[in-house]
Amino acid sequence: METMIAIRKLDEFAIEWINQKAKLQGVDLEDIIVQLIYEKVKSSEMKTELMQYNDLDSLAGTWSKEEADHFFKVTDKFNQVDESLW
């Protein structure tokens, strides 16, 4: 399934860079943009962004009932809305 996407708000530098890259590779603008997107998706940086982290899992469920009650008591003020600010 193909989806059409319009890209807006590119500055002149970006447009010129994309045009030059497309010209050097002998492809049209759409092809080069698709290629750039797929390169990003396949990069390790993108994979890291999509990765699920579990490095804090060992902390889950380690509070006692008293510790949890204390935490909720001292942080309850963050649930209050100051109507005068609205």
Which mean pLDDT values do the consecutive 10-residue runs of the chain (86 residues) have?
A: 84 93 93 89 68 78 90 92 86
pLDDT (0 to 100) of residue 3: 82
The answer to pTM > 0.85 is: no
The verdict on residue 70 lying in a domain is yes
Residue 1 domain-assigned (yes or no): no
Q: Which residues of 25-50 are buried (b: 16+ CB within 10 A; e: fewer)?
A: eeeeeeebbeeeeeeeeeeeeeeeee
Does residue 86 sit within a domain? Answer: no
At 11 the three-state DSSP class reads coil
pLDDT of the residue at 35: 92
The answer to whether residue 4 sits within a structural domain is no
For the chain, how many structural domains are there in total? Answer: 1
- Residue 5 belongs to a domain: no
Does residue 31 lie within any of the structural domains? Answer: yes
Is residue 67 in some structural domain?
yes
pLDDT score at 31 = 92
Look up the domain containing 60 and give its range: 11-78
Give 15's Cβ-side CA count (13 Å radius). Answer: 6
Whole-number Å distance between alpha carbons of 26 and 74: 63
- Determine the pLDDT at residue 5: 85
Domain assignment of residue 53, yes or no = yes
